[in-house]
Structure 1
Amino acid sequence: MSESQIPAAQAEPAAEPQPGSREEMRRNRMQSNWVNMVIALAACMALVLVALMIAPQPQGDPTRTVDAAAEASAAAGQAGFDPAAPALPQGWSSNEAGLEQMGKPELKTWYASYVGPSQQWIALRQAQPGADAAAWATSIVGEDAAQTGTSKVAGPQGRTVAFDRYEKPDQKQALVGTVGDTTVILMGTAQWDSFEDLAARTLRAAA
């Protein structure tokens, strides 16, 4: 038989490691590490999705711009009070505004949504609940909101108005106070300085 007719030697299959050997233990550790990495990655992705789902989001399109002052003027006749349209600081804008039925008892409510730098968002709600002010405010802020203190907000003519601070489990915050003969609620996700600044601007707008 010539060399060309000699069949090539076939590679023998790798031998399986003996049970309990170091090779078997090494292989098991490698497989276990890969499984643990996959499980950890899946858990991280699940946590991110949950966080995105529960994070408060501004109502309306955050890229939309609305003339809240013009909307407030148009709503004044139907509201029964003068809706507040505060002058906004630099970087802030309104993306939604109008008169809606809100709260319990259900009242005509002036609503304006404001978005600012660093994904800050504050929604202003204003109504004339009279004797039902506490019940109406609670229905808006939510019974799960915890009062955490008071903000002393500087109003016009040197007077100071107290706004109650609230924090909610869903990361929202709120300021609740009296502006003229109306109750104003500022609620959203922003720095407390931004809440207090908007409250002061609301007091000046209503003066």
Structure 2
Amino acid sequence: MSEQQQPDEPVVTPTLTAKQAKRANATVIGMLIATGITLAIVLLPVLLNPAQKPQIRDVDVQAIAAEAAADAGYDPLAPELPDGWTSNYARWDSGLNSGVPAWEVGYLTPEWDFIRLTETASANPTWISQTTEDSLVAGERIVGGTTWQLRDGSDGEAHLVTEVDGKTVILSSEGDLATVDLLAEAVLRDLAAASGE
């Protein structure tokens, strides 16, 4: 049978001596100081380094397109861009994974909108669906006198798709469609120049 405290017995409350209280407080204060020093060491380099701006990589699309022309069998698109636009990549995709060889260029507007251009002479419905990330047809858009199919992706990305002179061109962006229209017009001018119109 366990001993139980009798109701008339006084409750014992532990008390700390002055030295014990000082040691207990010293441990807490030491821990706070160590935490503060650690935070200072971690935050100091972060605060001393200015915020990094995204690097602008402006590749020579026309030169890369000229190199890709032999593989493509046609002159890949390299339109003249509005002032302030840059291109951060241009490449020929042999179609090893997709089965459709294509020309791809990434453009960056002065407002930091990204627009991807994809061009091929071998498009099929499956490839178009994959390239537009299974987006749904939302209607049509007339740009530069040409009808473009407008597709809306579930991730907020819009795609303009058209076929000109046997080539399928897809422009993809999360940016404003009016900005995408500027690239679409430049693409049509480039295609017209290539066909001698």
Scaled to the shorter chain, the TM-score interval is 0.5 to 0.7
2:126 match: 135
How far, CA to CA, are the matches of 2:125 and 2:108 in structure 1? Answer: 27
How far, CA to CA, are the matches of 1:113 and 1:166 in structure 2? Answer: 19
Tell whether the 8 Å contact from 1:103 to 1:139 is kept in structure 2 after alignment: no
Bigger relative contact order (CA 8 A; separation at least 6): 1
Q: What is the count of residue pairs matched by the alignment?
A: 139
Letter of the structure 2 residue corresponding to residue 204 of structure 1: R
Question: 1:104 Cα deviation (Å)?
Answer: 7.5
2:148 match: 163
Tell whether the 8 Å contact from 2:151 to 2:159 is kept in structure 1 after alignment: yes
Q: Which has the larger radius of gyration?
A: 2
The 4+ residue runs of structure 1 with deviation greater than 2 A are: 101-105, 132-135
Deviations 1:20-67 (CA, angstroms, capped at 9, x unpaired): xxxxxxxxxxxxxxxxxxxxxxxxxxxxxxxxxxxxxxxxx8521101
Question: 1:118 Cα deviation (Å)?
Answer: 2.1
Tell whether the 8 Å contact from 1:84 to 1:206 is kept in structure 2 after alignment: yes
Of residues 61, 70, 90, the one that matches 2:63 is 70
Question: Which structure: greater helix fraction?
Answer: 1
Deviations 1:171-207 (CA, angstroms, capped at 9, x unpaired): 2111000122110011122110111121111011012
Gaps of 5+ in 2: 1-53, 193-197
Give me the CA root mean square deviation.
Answer: 1.8
Q: TM-score normalized by structure 1? A: 0.62
Q: Percent of pairs identical after alignment?
A: 29
Question: 1:89 Cα deviation (Å)?
Answer: 0.7
Q: Secondary structure at the match of 1:138?
A: helix
Question: 1:101 Cα deviation (Å)?
Answer: 3.3
Q: TM-score normalized by structure 2? A: 0.65
Gaps of 5+ in 1: 1-60, 155-159
Q: Secondary structure at the match of 1:107?
A: coil
